[in-house]
Structure formats: structure tokens, C-alpha cells
């Protein structure tokens, strides 16, 4: 399976949270925005400060973020992707999720391959379905 993976999926796997993506092991080709790395690392920093997670644990989880991102095909947010994310959508969607959706659509159009969206974010899942994408995880 080829899937666009957002940070909600990466973080649930990384943090061992309940409801982690059941299909995680089935993803043979993963695609993500470079934005996912930033979101994951910012979340870990926030957990360090707010929840007092020890530095050694944070360091190990940061390393895991880098390993996961290295295993994915990372798409940089180009001007074209940002322009697409700024356009009206059929559903309400925040800025970062709009960039994720625009990235997934651009990758699918460029590659010509089928692509599923892996997310636990309900707004992103709804928007992805509204433009004809298959969603796993939500």
C-alpha cells in the first residue's frame, strides 16, 4: 500500500498511544510533507516542557522521528503546494492540514499512483474524502 502519512499517525505510533494506525505495517511506500517532521518535533518539545518527560526519553523519540522520516518519501512544501492549500476547499480545514492535503494531491498527480491518506485527524480525513481520496486511520 502507498499512503500519505501525516504527523498524527507518526506520533501515535511513536508515542505508543491507543488507536495507532492498524495498517502501519502494511505501508510499503510512505509519503509525507516535510511539515510532518516539524510537527512531530514540536510536539515532543511541548511534551518535554509540559509533561516533564525526561531528556533521555525525548532524545530517543526524536531519533525515532528522524528514522521514520528517513523511511518516508518526503515532499517539500513548494510554492505550488502552498498556493493549492490556500484555495477554497469543500470542507473546513486549518492551514497545516490544508498543506498536508495539497501535498498528497500534488504527489498523486505527479506520480500517477493510487494514494491513501493515513490520518487520525477528523478534519483532514473529511477533507480528503471530499476530494475523492481514500482514508485510513479515521
**C-alpha–C-alpha distance, residues 17 and 15, integer Å:** 5
9: enclosing H helix or E strand = helix 7-15
User: CB pairs under 8 A, 24+ apart, for 59-63?
Assistant: 61/14, 61/15
Please state the domain count of the chain. Answer: 1
Q: Is the pLDDT of residue 99 over 90?
A: yes
Given a contact cutoff of 8 angstroms between Cβ atoms, the answer to whether 125 and 138 are in contact is yes
C-alpha span between 41 and 29 (Å, rounded): 22
19 touches 12 (CB < 8 A): yes
Which helix (H) or strand (E) element contains residue 85? helix 79-85
Give pLDDT, residue 28. 95
Grid cell listed for 9: 499517525
Q: What is the pLDDT of residue 138?
A: 80
With a pLDDT cut of 70, the percent of the chain lying above it is 100
Of 48-52, 83-87, 105-109, 117-121, the one with minimum mean pLDDT is 48-52
Q: Which residues pair with 2 in a beta bridge?
A: 29
Give the CATH number of the domain where residue 115 resides.
3.40.50.1010
- Residue 96 pLDDT > 90, yes or no? yes
Mean pLDDT computed over 21-25: 92
Give the model confidence (pLDDT) of 34-87 as tens digits: 999 999 999 999 999 999 999 999 999 999 999 999 999 999 999 999 999 999
Percent pLDDT > 90 in the chain is 96
Q: Are 107 and 67 in contact (CB under 8 A)?
A: no
Domain of residue 89, residue span = 2-136
- 3-state SS, residue 77: coil
Mean pLDDT of all residues belonging to the chain:
95
Taking residues 99-113, report their average pLDDT: 96
Angstrom distance (rounded) from CA 104 to CA 40: 18
Amino acid at each position: 500500500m502507498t499512503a500519505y502519512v501525516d504527523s498524527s499517525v507518526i506520533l501515535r505510533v511513536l508515542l505508543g498511544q491507543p488507536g495507532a494506525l492498524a495498517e502501519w505495517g502494511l505501508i510499503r511506500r510512505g509519503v509525507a510533507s516535510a511539515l510532518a517532521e516539524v510537527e512531530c518535533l514540536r510536539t515532543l518539545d511541548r511534551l518535554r516542557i509540559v509533561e516533564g518527560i525526561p531528556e533521555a526519553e525525548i532524545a530517543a523519540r526524536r531519533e525515532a522521528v528522524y528514522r521514520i522520516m528517513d523511511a518516508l518519501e518526503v515532499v517539500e512544501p513548494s510554492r505550488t503546494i502552498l498556493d493549492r492549500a490556500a484555495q477554497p476547499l469543500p470542507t473546513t480545514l486549518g492551514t497545516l492540514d490544508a498543506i498536508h492535503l495539497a501535498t498528497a494531491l500534488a504527489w498523486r498527480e505527479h506520480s500517477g499512483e493510487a494514494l491513501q491518506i493515513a490520518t487520525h485527524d477528523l478534519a483532514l480525513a473529511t477533507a480528503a474524502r471530499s476530494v475523492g481520496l481514500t482514508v485510513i486511520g479515521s
